[in-house]
């Protein structure tokens, strides 16, 4: 039978990632099983998950770069594969490598894919969250076969995720095919001749437990003065981004404090396969001191055994399975004394050590990469013959969601902050800055960062946060709002709405902050400004503050004062509706003005925390009324209440000028309504609000500018505004972000 062509979907070399290395080795092995050379054949291709900060030069086998955080890329990748000559897709699944909560964006790709799928699972949790359980169960449902690396994973998949046993296939982790050699052969290359060498390799980070291995070495050096512990590997990129080299530095300091600095060698680099084999072959013993019991796979442990190493390991699941039958020794987690005892046993008994080495080496002969490649190829053949399972319903996903572009936002931002107005698409410096817009910008940026993990936006977050920090008036405990271009405050205290809006931005920053320093400033400012909220009189300010406090307690649930403010303002907002609303006019004021969806959104929170919860239903009722009132009866599009007179209780309604802030607030409220009720009609309403920006409005003219990536300031009776100010652009950006979160449905 002619071998099927296959596309791997995974992270890929040169990215520093265990799955990237696994995929490359597997692709090499499968190519070899076909009699082909990887990179010189179309039979084996790679769809590489790519991050905004990556600047890798991939091999020719990489035919498509799937930007990890861009949800629409997952559909494009499916379309790319659907019209290609690829017969089978091999997905490498790990929650953290895909975009979205619990890596759910990969489900979009699988939903649109019309090719059979074989999935390798690299992490299988016994106590998953509901989102993790749903995501992994769906991946397994649409896969022809599910490959597990450890046999123990079979029972977990069946019992926890309901995967049929006949769909589960055990293929071990591949290992290099190297000879069984004496460790002394390579030691002189690293100036370690005459030493007893322990080795740990892999990307470094907390959870590896290397500190306990260092402590174990400290217990042994007097007895074995020629003992050397080699720690080989670069710091994990994500750990390095968040914490720098703090972990590696702590290990170096630990070795020095224990008086064994000369016995512990750190090689801070990600080595080639050839170099790795040399390090493994020159080691006498291999150590995996990992701390997570549920680890179901380890390439480093597999490689060490494949090179004929005697291993001492903590008893995580994969190690228990691999080292059974006398193929290695186990010791308790985080127990240097127990680890030292097992190492001493092997260092003192060369005969036992060699017996363990041989058992490990013989056991892994069935795991060498060429044999693993043939097993995968057999699975691909079965999948190609069977085709897409009949029970799987593939669906086409909607297209047309514009990519979020920050070009105009960056142009409007200088070293001070976000300039509030523009003349056409050029910043109008004569109008200066305002806290309102910098708060909006900060709120958007931290949410954008949370979704896309684009490090290039972090300086923007610092700029906007610094503006809010400077805007805070410590005498009044309120934020100033308007600042001239020459940095003069034009008032001592901003409006009530400014206070609430800024608290909302700070709460979001606390929840989505990229690091603790940013979160710390946001928390401090929030707490300093909180006492002034009790004097707020604007329902919109109440709404913003309720939402801000609700976000704050998601991070710190026991924050008593924050909870008290949320409850107090919730009671006020509900009371305003009880005093003013009727069946015909379900609103808290006698006119409907701007940012109205924000009030509905806060009402849903207020009613959820009221005693008893849900004793009123103004939130959804008022939102339904707003959407009905602002839907054109003929065209069915959104027709926003204009700010040239608003909507009066007596009946007057202004058609113009319609503002982007109102479309964005309605979309946000509909989004919350959908998440609370799971009623699909709110998705329809979200689309209606979003399409307003794209031309589904009273003038049939788009407000989003596809050239500048800014947003026009409003819909007027004579056309759309030509200017693209900060508030309008951020209304567009936040709306687009929410649609990306939901994947345009």
- For 427-489, the DSSP string reads E-GGG-EEHHHHHHHHHHHHHHHHHH--GGGHHHHHHHHHHHHHHEETTTTEE--EE-TTS-B
Dist. CA 560–CA 571, nearest whole Å: 17
**Predicted pLDDT of residue 300:** 93
**Predicted pLDDT of residue 697:** 96
Does a structural domain hold residue 92? yes
Average pLDDT over the chain reads: 94
Quick one: average pLDDT of 557-575?
A: 96
Cβ–Cβ under 8 Å, residues 111 and 394: yes
Cβ–Cβ under 8 Å, residues 10 and 25: no
Residue that the structure tokens 């076969």 belong to: 145
Going 334 to 340 to 346 to 349, the CA torsion angle's sign is negative
**What CATH number does the domain containing 509 carry?**
1.50.10.10
Does a structural domain hold residue 272? yes
Inter-residue long-range contacts of 29-32, CB under 8 Å, 24+ positions, other chains counted:
29/174, 29/369, 29/370, 29/372, 29/373, 29/374, 29/376, 30/6, 30/373, 30/376, 30/377, 30/380, 31/373, 32/369, 32/370, 32/373
Asked if residue 291 and residue 324 are part of one domain, the reply reads yes
Asked if residue 133 and residue 106 are part of one domain, the reply reads yes
Final residue of a structural domain among 337, 367, 397: 367
State the residue range of the domain holding 196.
184-367
**What CATH number does the domain containing 11 carry?**
3.40.50.2000
Does a structural domain hold residue 400? no
Asked if residue 456 and residue 343 are part of one domain, the reply reads no
Dist. CA 742–CA 732, nearest whole Å: 16
Q: Give the pLDDT confidence of 19-63 residue by residue, as tens digits.
A: 999 999 999 999 999 999 999 999 999 999 998 778 899 999 999
Asked if residue 374 and residue 427 are part of one domain, the reply reads no
Final residue of a structural domain among 386, 418, 435: 386
Asked if residue 451 and residue 322 are part of one domain, the reply reads no
Asked if residue 712 and residue 592 are part of one domain, the reply reads yes
**For residue 535, is pLDDT > 90?**
yes
**Predicted pLDDT of residue 453:** 83
Asked if residue 196 and residue 111 are part of one domain, the reply reads no
Q: Encoding tokens for residue 581?
A: 């609303």
Quick one: average pLDDT of 111-133?
A: 95
Quick one: average pLDDT of 414-438?
A: 98
**Predicted pLDDT of residue 743:** 65
Q: At 537, give phi and psi (nearest 5°).
A: -120, -10
Asked if residue 377 and residue 346 are part of one domain, the reply reads no
What is the gyration radius of the CA atoms in the chain, in angstroms?
30
Cβ–Cβ under 8 Å, residues 442 and 413: no
**Predicted pLDDT of residue 58:** 96
Asked if residue 191 and residue 140 are part of one domain, the reply reads no
Q: What is the pTM (predicted TM-score) of this model?
A: 0.81
**For residue 546, is pLDDT > 70?**
yes
**Predicted pLDDT of residue 417:** 98
**For residue 184, is pLDDT > 90?**
no
**Predicted pLDDT of residue 402:** 87
Cβ–Cβ under 8 Å, residues 441 and 494: no
Does a structural domain hold residue 241? yes
Does a structural domain hold residue 392? no
Asked if residue 567 and residue 526 are part of one domain, the reply reads yes
Q: How many domains does the chain have?
A: 3
Asked if residue 214 and residue 139 are part of one domain, the reply reads no
3-state secondary structure of 714: coil
**Predicted pLDDT of residue 191:** 83
Does a structural domain hold residue 394? no
**Predicted pLDDT of residue 396:** 57
Q: Give the pLDDT confidence of 476-512 residue by residue, as tens digits.
A: 999 999 999 999 999 999 999 999 999 999 999 999 9
Residue of higher predicted confidence among 391 and 329: 329
**For residue 193, is pLDDT > 80?**
yes
Q: Give the pLDDT confidence of 373-413 residue by residue, as tens digits.
A: 999 999 999 999 999 876 666 665 555 688 899 999 999 99
Q: Give the pLDDT confidence of 620-660 residue by residue, as tens digits.
A: 999 999 999 999 999 999 999 999 999 999 989 999 999 99
Asked if residue 640 and residue 566 are part of one domain, the reply reads yes
**Predicted pLDDT of residue 745:** 52
Query: Distance between alpha carbon 569 and the CA centroid of its chain, in Å?
Result: 33
Does a structural domain hold residue 113? yes
Q: Encoding tokens for residue 278?
A: 């040399």
Q: Which residues contact 393 (CB under 8 A, 6 or more apart)?
A: none
Does a structural domain hold residue 620? yes
pLDDT band with cut points at 50, 70 and 90 for residue 313: very high
Q: Give the pLDDT confidence of 71-109 residue by residue, as tens digits.
A: 889 989 999 999 999 999 999 999 989 988 899 999 999
Q: Give the pLDDT confidence of 282-306 residue by residue, as tens digits.
A: 999 999 999 999 899 999 999 999 9
**Predicted pLDDT of residue 744:** 57
Quick one: average pLDDT of 556-583?
A: 96
Distances (CA, A) of 270 to 235, 285, 332, 598: 9, 20, 29, 50
Q: Which residues contact 553 (CB under 8 A, 6 or more apart)?
A: 559, 562, 563, 566
pLDDT band with cut points at 50, 70 and 90 for residue 740: confident
Final residue of a structural domain among 323, 355, 386: 386
**For residue 70, is pLDDT > 60?**
yes
Query: Distance between alpha carbon 197 and the CA centroid of its chain, in Å?
Result: 39
């Amino acid at each position: 039978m002619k071998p099927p062509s296959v596309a791997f979907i995974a992270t890929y070399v040169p990215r520093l990632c265990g799955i990237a290395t696994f995929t490359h080795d597997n692709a090499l092995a499968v190519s070899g099983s076909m009699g082909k050379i990887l990179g010189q054949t179309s039979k084996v291709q790679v769809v590489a998950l790519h991050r905004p900060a990556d600047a890798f030069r991939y091999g020719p086998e990489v035919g498509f770069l799937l930007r990890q955080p861009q949800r629409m890329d997952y559909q494009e990748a499916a379309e790319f594969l659907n019209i290609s000559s690829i017969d089978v897709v091999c997905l490498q699944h790990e929650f953290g490598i895909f975009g979205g909560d619990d890596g759910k964006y990969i489900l979009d790709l699988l939903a649109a894919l019309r090719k059979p799928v074989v999935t390798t699972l690299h992490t299988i949790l016994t106590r998953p969250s509901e989102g993790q359980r749903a995501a992994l169960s769906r991946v397994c449902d649409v896969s022809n076969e599910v490959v597990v690396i450890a046999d123990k994973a079979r029972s977990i998949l069946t019992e926890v995720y309901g995967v049929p046993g006949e769909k589960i296939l055990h293929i071990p982790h591949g290992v290099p095919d190297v000879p069984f050699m004496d460790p002394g052969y390579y030691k002189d290359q690293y100036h370690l001749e005459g030493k007893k060498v322990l080795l740990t390799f892999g990307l470094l980070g907390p959870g590896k437990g290397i500190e306990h291995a260092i402590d174990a070495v400290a217990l042994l050096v007097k007895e074995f003065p020629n003992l050397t512990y080699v720690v080989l590997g670069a710091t994990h990129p994500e750990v390095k981004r968040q914490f720098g080299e703090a972990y590696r530095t702590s290990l170096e300091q630990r070795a020095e404090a224990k008086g064994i600095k000369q016995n512990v060698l750190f090689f801070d680099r990600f080595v080639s396969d050839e170099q790795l084999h040399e390090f493994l072959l020159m080691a006498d013993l291999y150590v995996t001191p990992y701390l997570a019991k549920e680890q179901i796979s380890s390439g480093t442990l597999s490689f060490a055994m494949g090179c004929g190493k005697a291993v001492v390991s903590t008893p995580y699941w994969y190690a228990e399975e691999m080292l059974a039958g006398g193929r290695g020794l186990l010791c308790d987690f985080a127990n240097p004394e127990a680890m030292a005892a097992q190492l001493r046993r092997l260092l003192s008994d060369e005969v036992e050590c060699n017996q363990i080495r041989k058992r490990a080496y013989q056991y892994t002969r069935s795991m060498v990469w060429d044999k693993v490649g043939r097993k995968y190829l057999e699975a691909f053949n079965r999948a190609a013959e069977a085709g897409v399972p009949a029970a799987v319903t593939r669906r086409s996903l909607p297209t047309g969601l514009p990519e979020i572009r920050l070009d105009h936002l960056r142009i409007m931002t200088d070293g001070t902050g976000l300039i509030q107005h523009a003349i056409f698409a050029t910043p109008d410096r004569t109008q200066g800055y305002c806290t309102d817009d910098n708060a909006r910008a900060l709120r958007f940026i931290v949410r954008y960062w949370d979704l896309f993990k684009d490090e290039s936006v972090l300086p923007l977050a610092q700029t906007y946060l610094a503006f809010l920090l400077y805007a805070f008036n410590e005498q009044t405990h309120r934020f100033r709002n308007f600042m001239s271009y020459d940095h003069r405050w034009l008032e001592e205290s901003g409006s009530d709405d400014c206070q609430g809006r800024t608290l909302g931005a700070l709460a979001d920053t606390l929840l989505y902050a990229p690091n603790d320093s940013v979160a710390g400033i946001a928390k401090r400012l929030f707490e300093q400004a909180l006492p002034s909220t009790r004097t707020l009189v604007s329902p919109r300010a109440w709404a913003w503050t309720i939402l801000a406090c609700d976000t704050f307690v998601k991070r710190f649930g026991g924050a008593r004062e924050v909870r008290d403010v949320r409850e107090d303002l919730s009671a006020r907002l509900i009371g305003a509706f009880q005093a003013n609303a009727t069946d015909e006019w379900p609103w808290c004021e006698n006119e409907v003005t701007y940012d109205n969806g924000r009030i509905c959104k806060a009402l849903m929170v207020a009613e959820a925390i009221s005693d008893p919860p849900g004793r009123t239903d103004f939130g959804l009722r008022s939102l339904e009324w707003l959407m009905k009132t602002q839907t054109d009866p003929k065209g069915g599009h959104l027709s926003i209440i204009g700010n040239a007179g608003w909507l009066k209780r007596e009946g007057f309604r202004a058609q113009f000028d319609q503002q982007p802030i109102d479309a964005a607030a309605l979309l946000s409220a509909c989004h919350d309504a959908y998440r609370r009720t799971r009623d699909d009609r709110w998705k329809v309403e979200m689309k209606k609000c979003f399409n307003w920006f794209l031309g589904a409005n009273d003038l049939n003219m788009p407000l989003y500018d596809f050239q500048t990536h800014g947003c026009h300031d409003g819909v007027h009776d004579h056309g759309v505004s030509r200017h693209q100010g900060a508030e309008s652009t951020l209304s567009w950006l936040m709306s687009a972000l929410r649609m990306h979160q939901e994947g345009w449905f």
